[in-house]
A and B are shown apart, each in its own frame.
Chain A
Amino acid sequence: MLEIEIDGKKTTVAPGSTVMDAARALGVHIPHFCYHKKLSIAASCRMCLVEVEKAPKPLPACATPVTAGMVVKTHSNAAVTAQKGVMEFLLINHPLDCPICDQGGECHLQDIAVGYGAGESRYREEKRIVPNKDLGPLITTEMTRCIHCSRCVRFTEEVAGYQELGLAHRGEHSEVMPFLGKTVNSEISGNVIDLCPVGALTSKPFRYTVRAWELSRRKSIAPHDGLGSNLIVQVKNHKVMRVLPLENEAINECWLSDRDRFSYEALNSASRATKPQVKKDGQWIETDWQSALELVAGKLKDTVAAHGRDSVAALATPNSTVEELFMLRKLMAGLGVEQVETRLRAADFRLHTAGATWLGQSIAELAQSDAVLVIGSNIRKEQPLLAQRLRQSAKRGMKLSVLNPARYDLLAPLAGELIVRPDQMVEALLTVLKAACEAAGKTAPAHIDLSSIEVCDASRSIAATLTAHSAILLGNLAAHHPRYAELHAAAAALAELSGAKLGVMSEAANTVGAQLIGAETSGNLFASPKKALILLNAEVQFDCHNATEALAAVRAADFVVALNPFADGVKDYADVILPVAPFTETSGTFVNMEGRAQSFNGVVRPLGETRPAWKVLRVLGNVLGFNGFDYESSEAIRDEALAGDIAPRLSNALKAPVAVKAQAASGLVRLGEVPLYQLDALTRRAPALQATADAAEPALRANAATLAGLSLKAGDSACAAQAGGKALLCVREDTTLPDGVIHIAGSHPLTTGLGGLFAPVTVERAG
């Protein structure tokens, strides 16, 4: 340890620490722009120049290693003179028009200029003008304001994994710009807005809507992927204006995915339902809550009475809160109905685990693994920030391998890769298992048949990376797979054999919470016809594994009640729409993929007559005259729903063996990914996200050989058909796909006519 004195305060720091590290530890603030704790050191802004005893000139605190006995002065004459000199240089070409800058009020340059800037500029020459750049629908530029700190450039390269911004030209002509004709398309691009210390990069949707000081900052939890990012939701007049990250090193660090950052736009969308509505003679009529709830209660009661309890079922999305799902389950139990399901995009319900499936460890622990094998996950799009963490780990030497149905670019160094047709993922995993068995001289469990499996070099090298300090992760493409139980069982066997931890990356914000309260026990609810259906937050055409089957089921039902913040998605098949609060308008709890329960408060008043779903369900219980529906608060519900420790109730271990056996591939198979911005109702309605490259219309994608076999070429129109439905799509060549794979995204209006996400598909040229 090295002793250092800064401004008279002494501390000791580890060798290799910088003066900036030591100052932060001491709570001494040194002004800076280019320094950022998560980025490499540039030492280019020079704002952090400090006086170091025995050094002939001021040194940048961010880049100066601490030496034993170093004495540093951050506010001496010499230091402040240097800092003021730098501040003057930064301001000479920076516009001094803060009142019309969107960053005004939350600008580092403005803040630091108060302390280090002069009252008047000595610069009398013409100021620099820099043309703006098109960075896409999320980020606005005012490049004349750029101070060349290069944080954004370093972020895209080092954190997002792919350099999408660079500092072109030299000297005073330096400009931050994207590559020619390109925009910034990273799924975590919005972080450059936070990183930019000035108004050069600002949020496009937020721009010029409100001043930073007019906003209230309220904590919340992201409702999309399974990470559970911590949010600061900024509100004005009970409207959500912006979402920023709340730093939590254990979860999202200081970052936010674009999905978490920009989905708030949907909260203010015109398609929000603000009053209960009932359908009468094909016409939607607004009504009051009392009448609507009495109607719903009566219908449900009558249906159970007339057709039995199996004629009623409830479907909820896994980003519904713990409180909502608990109340839904309790209401259904009151009616005698057991069928409550949140695994809407699953196709295989054979798996039974000893507890709620989860990451198997904490996110921070996972990042410390020696090796990680990801099975069935386009992880950058499914869990953008977890992918980012694994990228940093892989750069530090973690061996990252993938088993996927397409060659997704993780923007990270890979130790191994198995890319196979979706219907051969189980078989590919068995080759790794067999390789591990051979290497360890052990046999697989009896329920797994490895007799026909041939081990290849790739599977051997992947198996060799797996040690006791490694992880095997199952993603959304595994969870949605028709043979998920087999994938899980084989992965569990591989984990058992290698000592690796098995983990499931939950698809949605509350996938783990839904399991903890048993809202996922029923399997495919559409297997038998239903007379009445309750849909909580669910838009079945987008949220279910088989859109055609789901739509047929809701249309066949006599009575469908939709509890949903939006009316437009369910209007076609619902009979009653009850407007319920999105996550910003209710208190609630999500349990993230590592089993961490995170409660949040509503940050704004519910819009119009919208009510929190847990309250609606409670009142429905009251109307139906059920006992135990007297909860005063969501906290009371949570305490009952999640009573006791969560940890013992998490387990990926199989309760009963699942028979795993290789099957042959045949014909064309669909790869039905859920696009990044089609995940849930909010993202589907966020205009800026919908304008990104990731939200491009789904096409019929296949590799050149597959297209040639179909006599198709890129740009053709083609008709894809699956059991029960069709879709007309544009053809695109996709070199990342294996032979025989037809990539057609699911959960999208263009493809709701199709069936299973991973089912066989036939393709014909159209027109």
Chain B
Amino acid sequence: MTVYVKGIVFENVDFDLPRCWSIDQYIQRGGYAALKKIVAEKIAPEAVIEEVKASGLRGRGGAGFPTGLKWTFLPKGYVGQKYLVCNTDEGEPGTFKDRDILAYNPHAVIEGMILAAWATGATVGYNYIHGEIFELYQQFEAAIEEARAAGFLGDNILGSSFSFQLHAHHGYGAYICGEESALLESIEGKKGQPRYKPPFPAVVGLYGKPTIINNTETFASIPWILRNSGQEFQALGKPNSGGTKLFSVSGHVNRPGNYEIPLGTPFAELLDMAGGMRGGKKLKAVIPGGSSAPVLPADIAMNLTMDFDAIAKAGSMLGSGAVIVMDETVCMVKALERLSYFYFEESCGQCTPCREGTGWLYRIVHRIEHGEGRPEDLELLASIGDNIAGRTICALGDAAVLPVRGMLKHFRDEFEYHIANKRCLVG
């Protein structure tokens, strides 16, 4: 796995060093300085939150919600247990950045969570790590132990009255457990199913207590912001897209991997960093933000900058930063069939539109791909999508519909060809 650094999470990380994840290396890179400073100077939690707000940091898990603002949603003046949860479920197909953060720089996550605990008053935290990366779960446990031994974690952190307990918790690979409320259910030992909101986790979260949930990369960004300043972080990116971001580039490129770059970098540059198109083939399409983001054709992608607003304006979303690159040999019907199958299989089954609709979508696309499409199928796909999107408990329903809409918007001719000729336009 290639990792190219031009940002803050992996700043100064030497990926070739066998124990670059360890606390010694992290401290050498300037790690835990922010924590020491905040504890020593007794910086007010409100000031920490203000700094995070000033950074313009938006959630790196997919939804892009402003992190500092989220932290203020905890009930004011609440006395009692509050929780902090890190979402390392990373189930969005195409996304593999959080895995590398845990592999190469887990202490950034740990320090970020400790700082968030200071800011929010949470005393217990969990990092929910998807089960497919069990060895990183074990390594994260080891990192927690290191932080405890160093006095950064546990009771009376750095001799102060501030205490924070952090636990690693591993899931079993369900995509839905990356949805924050399903993740909470899963930690509680229940079936991973999203909760109806409101109430939001900030008010009724883990074990019914106020809870802040952020993505791994989000937490890993906090130490840098507090070590330097919110303003400096903001300046790295664009307005409304502050800082740098990890992009997981996969598909038909020469050097797939994670690329940490400033938000607002042109897609063309990112494609270059990834070594350009494999085998000299032509770029056909890009899914810019994980499998649930609508696909964009090459001409739009090549004029795109990688930030929240630009991608949204182009009709897709930055999402988790998973950039799936497809060359001219890709059959879009086959691609959508695979995407639809994923959402069909990963629907939790709790609410009707998603449980019934994702299977219906998949079966129709499957038929089209297998030469059994009917002329009315494309209208039907759109109509089913309209009946799912916005009608479900969580966003999985929308996630299943967006790829369908994107494909029908930009590659409708390929679908029509499939239906009319019962075979593929390409290859």
Contacts and interface: CB of A to CB of B under 8 A. Distances in A.
A73 to B, nearest CB: 16
Q: How large is the interface on B (under 10, 10 to 19, 20 to 34, 35 or more residues)?
A: 20 to 34
Given A49-B391, A85-B391, A88-B387, A172 B356 contact: yes
Interface in A81-127: 82, 85-86, 88-90, 92-93, 122-125
A79 to B, nearest CB: 11
**B352, B390, B391: residue with the most chain A Cβ atoms closer than 10 Å:** B352
**B355, B363, B387: residue with the most chain A Cβ atoms closer than 10 Å:** B355
Contact of A89 (B345, B357, B374, B380): B357
A44 B350 contact: yes
A171 B346 contact: yes
B355 A43 contact: no
A170 interface: yes
Interface stretch (A56-64, A244-252, A570-578, A684-692): A56-64
Contact of B344 (A89, A169, A172): A172
B174 A92 contact: no
Interface string B134-168: 00000000000000000000000000000000000
A57 B393 CA distance: 12
Contacts of B359: 171-172
B73 interface: no
A54 to B, nearest CB: 15
A46 B391 contact: yes
A172 B349 contact: yes
B188 to A, nearest CB: 15
B196 A60 contact: yes
Contacts of B352: 44-47, 86, 89-90, 147-148
A215 interface: no
B353 A85 contact: yes
B174 A170 contact: yes
A87 to B, nearest CB: 9
A126 to B, nearest CB: 8
B347 A43 contact: no
Contacts of B4: none
Nearest to A126: B363
Contact of B390 (A43, A47, A57, A148): A57
Interface in A31-67: 41-47, 49, 56-58, 60, 63, 65
A92 B356 contact: yes
Contacts of A45: 351-352
B248 interface: no
A85 B349 contact: no
A42 B360 CA distance: 23
Contacts of A728: none
A171 B386 contact: no
Nearest to A169: B349
A30 to B, nearest CB: 15
Contacts of B176: 170
Contacts of A337: none
A92 B349 contact: no
B355 A41 contact: no
Contacts of A89: 352-353, 355-357, 360, 387
The DSSP consensus for interface residues of chain A is loop
A558 B125 CA distance: 82
A13 B261 CA distance: 52
Contact of B196 (A43, A169, A170): A43
Nearest to A94: B356
A172 B391 CA distance: 17
A174 interface: yes
Interface string A145-176: 00110000000000000000001011111100
A621 to B, nearest CB: 65
Contacts of B345: 171
B198 interface: yes
Nearest to B351: A44
A148 B393 contact: no
Contacts of B198: 65
B360 A123 contact: yes
Contacts of B354: 171
Interface in B318-368: 344-360, 363-364, 367
B387 A171 contact: no
A599 to B, nearest CB: 45
B231 interface: no
B392 interface: yes
Nearest to A150: B350
A47 B357 CA distance: 14
Contacts of B374: 124
A41 B351 contact: no
A173 B358 CA distance: 12
Contacts of A42: 196, 350
B317 to A, nearest CB: 16
Interface string B297-313: 00000000000000000
A92 B360 contact: yes
A45 B352 CA distance: 5
Given A170-B347, A171-B348, A57 B356 contact: no
Contacts of A167: 191, 349-350
B200 to A, nearest CB: 12
Contacts of A123: 360
Contact of A86 (B346, B353, B363): B353
Contacts of A63: 196
A167 B193 CA distance: 11
Contacts of A171: 344-349, 354-355, 358-359
B391 A57 contact: yes
Contacts of A88: 387
B353 A148 contact: no
Nearest to B346: A171
A85 B391 CA distance: 9
Contacts of A93: 356
A84 to B, nearest CB: 8
A589 to B, nearest CB: 47
A123 B348 CA distance: 21
A94 B360 CA distance: 13
A122 B381 CA distance: 11
Contacts of A147: 352
A93 B355 CA distance: 11
A158 to B, nearest CB: 14
A41 B195 CA distance: 10
A125 B390 CA distance: 24
Contact of A85 (B344, B348, B380, B387): B387
A123 B367 CA distance: 13
A90 B356 contact: yes
Contacts of B355: 89, 148, 171-172, 174
A46 to B, nearest CB: 5
Nearest to A60: B196
Contacts of B393: 43-44
A90 B391 CA distance: 14
Given A41-B196, A57-B391, A63-B196, A122 B380 contact: yes
A125 B360 contact: yes
Nearest to B195: A43
A49 B363 CA distance: 26
Interface of B: 174, 176, 191, 196, 198, 344-360, 363-364, 367, 374, 380, 383, 386-387, 390-393
Please provide the 5 A-B residue pairs with the shortest distance between their CB atoms, ordered closest to farther.
Answer: A85-B387, A174-B349, A57-B390, A89-B356, A171-B347
25 contacts: A41-B196, A43-B351, A45-B351, A45-B352, A46-B392, A82-B387, A85-B391, A86-B353, A89-B356, A89-B360, A89-B387, A92-B356, A92-B360, A122-B383, A124-B374, A125-B363, A148-B352, A170-B346, A170-B347, A170-B349, A171-B344, A171-B355, A172-B356, A172-B358, A174-B350
Given A92-B356, A125-B364, 7 more contacts: A41-B196, A44-B393, A86-B391, A148-B350, A170-B174, A171-B349, A172-B349
